[in-house]
């Protein structure tokens, strides 16, 4: 396993030029039916009349990040004021269809999952904008997860319904001081080695892992354990993209659920894990309340702000030494509601955040994300030794190894809120078995897809 947390060269580490070869599958632009096209021709000229562009994003790090991007856009187009509002991730996932059919529809919305938003035509088809702005000439793998078939079920194919400033990445943060106390001199090379470190942490009177079970953080290590137990990620990605016949009720899923439940039973997870949310978890971690914190790169700027150089990051270890490492990734998706009052301005904002050098730099330093955009775009940077730099380096290594996989939580519109989140909580509290867990997840997935 490569050490990703101690860059040796001085200066600054550059982020990837563009999120070019991003997901494990790439899709060429698809033909668009006339019925799905916007009612009027698209226009790249946003004019000079005053416009308030409203964004609805998820609570937490999304708000300051998109607020900063909005200020940059306003500086470029002083007639456009960007107003950012937010909802909790779970609430937005549950309420988004109601929001998009209501009377106060935003111009851009963070889209956790697509599903019925597409087949009910609640989102604007972005193919015409991709053509006029030249997005269809960029590496298309960065749009794979936001292309959706007309029935709203299978992703990775069909028309484009979302774009965003950058891409998330999951892994494991660690407190460098506490890691030294338990004898960790390098990132663990295998899951077994990681479990050995968890045991050492507990024996030293430390909380091994801090994680947010209240709002789904525990699904991240579950998915990594699943891919490690299966020794491959293709089946999971097929499941995420709703390919026909995809099945996650497998021995690998049962094994992964068994391991995660054992971590809870052994005290490696907090006793109140199911009450900890994604705001409390990083705060507790920064207080020195745990050695490890599995989460995503969106946490890196906040961790650096609290003390640059104090926190390291490594990819979740493989099942066997020398094996493949995988991480979950997804675009920070923004969609344009079909009822948006300013669709052309919203599309101009989407183009701006992917191409403007200042916006791309903020995507790295404020959002903690790897920027999207054209392959020849300006190269943002992150300070050497920072948590942000470590996540960028990890992303680059996974691009080379084809190790980026979508989130299970995004497989269907309701799988996260209605199934993965409550079932994982039941699993960790000992109220369901790993076998029942795997069967329930697959059963609800098939129900969601109408199979």
Structural contact between residues 5 and 123, judged by C-beta atoms closer than 8 angstroms: no
Same domain, 191 and 303: yes
Q: Are residues 191 and 292 in the same domain?
A: yes
What is the rounded distance in angstroms from the CA atom of residue 376 to the CA atom of residue 369?
18
DSSP-assigned beta bridge partners for residue 174:
292, 312
Q: Is beta strand 12-14 parallel, antiparallel or unpaired with respect to 80-87?
A: unpaired
- Does residue 337 form part of some domain? yes
Task: Check the CA dihedral 58-59-63-64 and report its sign.
Answer: negative
Claim to verify: residue 357 and residue 217 sit in the same structural domain:
no
Give the count of beta carbons closer than 10 Å to the beta carbon of residue 286: 21
Domain contains 316: yes
Say what percent of the chain tops pLDDT 70. Answer: 91
Distance of CA 43 to CAs 40, 128, 157, 192, 379, Å?
Answer: 9, 10, 25, 56, 28
Q: Establish if 362 belongs to a structural domain.
A: yes
Tokens of 308: 């640059």
Domain, as residue range, for 428: 170-328+405-448
Can you give the pLDDT at residue 255?
97
Q: What is the pLDDT of residues 74-92, one digit of tens each?
A: 999 999 999 999 998 878 8
Examine the domain organization and report whether 71 and 199 are in the same domain.
Answer: no
Interior/surface letters 352-386, b for 16+ CB within 10 angstroms, e for the rest: bbbbbebbbbbbbbbbbbbbbbbeebbebbbbbbb
229 and 368 in a common domain: no
Q: Which residue has the tokens 């999207």?
A: 372
| pLDDT tens digits along 346-380 | 999 999 999 999 999 999 999 999 898 998 887 78
Q: Is the domain of 309 the same as that of 429? A: yes
SS (H, E, C) 15-30: CCCCCCCCCCCCCCCC
- pLDDT of 40 reads 63
> What does residue 167 show for φ and ψ, rounded to 5 degrees?
-130, 140
Separation between Cα atoms, residue 364 and residue 360, nearest integer Å: 7
Tell me how far apart the alpha carbons of residues 330 and 75 are, in angstroms, rounded to a whole number. 28
Does residue 99 share a domain with residue 198?
no
CA gap 301, 276 in Å, rounded: 21
Residues in the chain: 451
> To which residue do tokens 């705001």 refer?
279
15 neighbors 370 (Cβ within 8 angstroms): yes
- Confirm if 335 and 354 have CB atoms less than 8 A apart: no
| Domain co-membership, 174 together with 162 | no
Q: Are residues 361 and 306 in the same domain?
A: no
Residue 14, pLDDT above cutoff 80:
no
Position 400 in a domain: no
Identify whether 21 is part of a domain.
no
What would the two tokens of residue 16 be? 């990837």
pLDDT in tens, 36-56: 444 468 999 999 999 999 999
Cα–Cα distance between 382 and 364 in angstroms, integer? 7
The CATH number that applies at residue 51 is 3.40.190.10
Which residues make Cβ contacts (< 8 Å) with residue 133, sequence separation at least 6?
A: 44, 347, 351
- The model carries a pTM of 0.82
On whether residue 140 sits in a domain, the answer given is yes
Q: What is the DSSP string of 125-153?
A: --HHHHHHHTGGGS-GGGGGGGEE-TTS-
Structural domain includes residue 413? yes
Q: Does 319 share its domain with 343?
A: no
pLDDT score at 22: 47
Together in a domain, 56 and 146: yes
Task: Indicate whether 412 and 370 sit together in one domain.
Answer: no
User: Considering the domain boundaries, does residue 399 fall inside one?
Assistant: no
**Using one digit for the tens of pLDDT, what is the confidence trace for 178-232?**
999 999 999 999 999 999 999 999 999 999 999 999 999 999 999 999 999 988 8
Domain count, the chain: 2
Count CB-CB contacts under 10 A for residue 217: 24
Q: Quick one: which of 105, 48, 56, 47 has its CA closest to 82?
A: 56
* DSSP 3-state percent helix, strand, coil across the chain (nearest 5): 45, 15, 45
């Amino acid at each position: 396993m490569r050490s990703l947390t101690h860059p040796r060269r001085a200066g600054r580490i550059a982020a990837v030029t563009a999120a070019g070869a991003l997901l494990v599958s790439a899709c060429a632009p698809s033909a668009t039916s006339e019925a799905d096209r916007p009612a009027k021709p698209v226009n790249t000229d946003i004019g000079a009349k005053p416009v308030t562009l409203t964004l609805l994003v998820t609570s937490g790090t999304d708000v300051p990040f998109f607020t900063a991007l909005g200020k940059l856009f306003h500086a470029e187009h002083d007639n456009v004021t960007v107003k950012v509002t937010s909802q909790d991730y779970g609430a937005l996932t549950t309420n988004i269809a109601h929001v998009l059919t209501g009377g106060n529809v935003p111009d851009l919305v963070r889209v956790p999952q697509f599903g019925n938003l597409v087949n009910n035509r609640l989102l604007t088809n972005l193919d015409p904008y991709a053509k006029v702005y030249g997005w269809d000439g960029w590496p298309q793998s960065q749009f794979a997860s936001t292309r959706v078939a007309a029935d709203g079920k299978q992703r990775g194919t069909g028309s484009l319904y979302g774009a965003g400033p950058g891409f998330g990445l999951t892994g494991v943060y660690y407190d460098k001081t506490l890691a030294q106390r338990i004898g960790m001199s390098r990132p663990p090379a295998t899951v077994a080695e990681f479990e050995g470190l968890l045991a050492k942490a507990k024996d030293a009177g430390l909380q091994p892992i801090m994680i947010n079970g209240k709002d789904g953080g525990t699904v991240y290590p579950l998915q990594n354990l699943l891919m490690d137990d299966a020794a491959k990620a293709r089946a999971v990605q097929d499941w995420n993209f709703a390919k026909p016949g995809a099945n996650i009720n497998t021995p690998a899923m049962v094994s992964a659920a068994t391991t995660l439940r054992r971590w809870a039973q052994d005290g490696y997870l907090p006793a109140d894990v199911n009450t900890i949310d994604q705001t409390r978890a990083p705060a507790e971690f920064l207080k020195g309340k745990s050695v490890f914190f599995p989460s995503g790169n969106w946490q890196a700027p906040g961790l650096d702000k609290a003390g640059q150089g104090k926190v390291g990051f490594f990819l979740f270890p493989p099942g066997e030494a020398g094996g493949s490492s995988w991480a979950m990734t997804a675009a920070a998706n923004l969609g344009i509601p079909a009822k948006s009052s300013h669709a052309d301005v919203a599309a101009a904002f989407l183009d701006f955040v992917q191409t403007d050098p200042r916006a791309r730099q903020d995507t790295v330093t404020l959002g903690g994300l790897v920027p999207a955009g054209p392959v020849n775009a300006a190269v943002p940077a992150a300070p050497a030794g920072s948590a942000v730099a470590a996540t960028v380096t990890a992303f680059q290594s996974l691009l080379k190894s084809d190790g980026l996989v979508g989130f299970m939580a995004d497989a269907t519109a309701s799988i996260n809120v209605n199934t993965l989140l409550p079932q994982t909580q039941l699993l960790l509290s000992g109220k369901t078995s790993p076998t029942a867990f795997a069967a329930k997840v697959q059963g609800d997935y098939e129900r969601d897809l109408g199979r």
